[in-house]
Amino acid sequence: MELPLLGQIYLPISGVEIMGWKLILLGFTVGVIGGFFGIGGAFIVTPALNVFGFPMVYAIGTDMAQMAGKSIIATAKHSKFGNVDMKLGLIMIIGTVIGIELGATVIMCLENVGNADVDVVVRYVYMVLLFSLSGYMLYEYFKLTKEGAVENKTIFDVGKSALALKMQSIKLPPMVNLTVSGFTISIWVILSVATITGFVAGFLGVGGGFLRVPALIYVIGSPTRVAIGTDLFEIMISGAYGAFTYGIKGRVEIIAAVIMLIGASVGTQFGTLATQYPIMLKA
Amino acid sequence: MEGINQWLVELNKNSPVWFGVVTVLTMAIVGVLMAAIAEVILKIFGVKGEVVERFLSQPGN
């Protein structure tokens, strides 16, 4: 007897046939990763859907849709733990929406230009971004481990980077007092970071979390837990906007997004809970 | 499933704006529903989440 949603499914909007269990497993995996790191996980889902046979633009749109739904679950959980700075999140949304619209417009232009292979362009941009980011974070990890060894203690948070301190010292009004994050910063810094990450999000079809969380930590200077929770709040809103934009353009496979969301809803619970254990270990 | 698929294809073709609205609403409703179900299941099978919440509500945490 074939279980519903686990067997072969035909998706008529994109014209793709796929095994349902692949979508559920993919959703579960990004749910765990997303809940723990505070990211949408689209840098995994979009390429994975493309490998499964989705045309790239449909992979982007479908992922935006599932990300919106998954982020609701994760944000609610992080909010209970006091990790969501709504003021910061709402300001970032303004910049992100502008950036996403610009990014989505560029990708649609590329799709309409006969010579441009959108899949190849997006894949190369992904590779450059992911390698650069992972390289920097590895460097940061080894630096902190060394500092911890010298001071003979385990470091639980990166603290404020030199760049973040410089950004917070910019006194361009209006200034915003972020009580949850614990500092005051110029609104223009927040908007600039959000617009740039939003553009990348719209272009690559990602939530931008894998860029925005490091940006919140290293450029704006948020504590790591707050960066995670706040980013998920923002992804919830910007994901919904991205899903709407790609929906209007006819590039969302809703059935696939719902199936992935079922898996993600379970995974998110585990990922989110795991973020709180370092705090309990510290005590 | 076939009926839903057909309806979505027609909506996608004939009314892109409503397709966009249906996309967002579907994800929101399913997301909230799954979050609620997950909370209930977690409460039935374990109290780990509540332990963390109680710990965090203590002064100094």
At A184-209, the pLDDT tens digits run 999 999 999 999 888 887 787 666 77
Q: What is the DSSP letter of B60?
A: T
Cβ atoms within 10 Å, residue B37:
14
In a domain, A257, yes or no: yes
- Among candidates B1, B23, B37 on the partner chain, residue whose Cβ is nearest the Cβ of A65: B23
For A17, phi then psi, to 5°, come to -110, 130
Whether A3 maps to a domain, the answer reads no
Identify the contact set of chain A against chain B, taking CB-CB distances under 8 A: 4, 10-13, 65-66, 68-73, 76-77, 80-82, 240, 243-245, 247-250, 252, 254-255, 257-258, 261-262, 265-266, 268-269, 273, 276-277, 279-280, 283
Q: Is residue A251 part of a domain?
A: yes
Give residue limits of the domains in chain B: 2-57
Task: Name the amino acid, one letter, at B25.
Answer: L
A35 token code pair: 């809940």
B53/A80 Cβ within 8 A = yes
Contact, A11 vs A253, CB < 8 A?
yes
- pLDDT score recorded for residue B60: 47
Domain extent at residue A210: 8-282
pLDDT at residue A5, as a whole number:
66
> How many Cα atoms sit within 13 Å of A162 on the Cβ side?
1
* Tally of domains in chain A: 1
Residue A2 lies in a domain: no
Q: Position of tokens 């931008």?
A: A208
- Is the pTM higher than 0.80? The answer reads no
Question: Is pLDDT above 80 for A263?
Answer: yes
Is the C-alpha dihedral spanning A210, A213, A217, A221 positive or negative? positive
Rounded distance between C-alpha atoms, residue A242 and residue A246, angstroms: 6
Residues A99-135 pLDDT 10s: 888 888 888 888 777 655 777 777 788 788 888 878 8
Which chain A residue has the Cα nearest residue B39?
A: A269
Residue A37 lies in a domain: yes
Kindly state the average pLDDT of the residues A24-44.
Answer: 82
Say if A1 falls within a structural domain: no
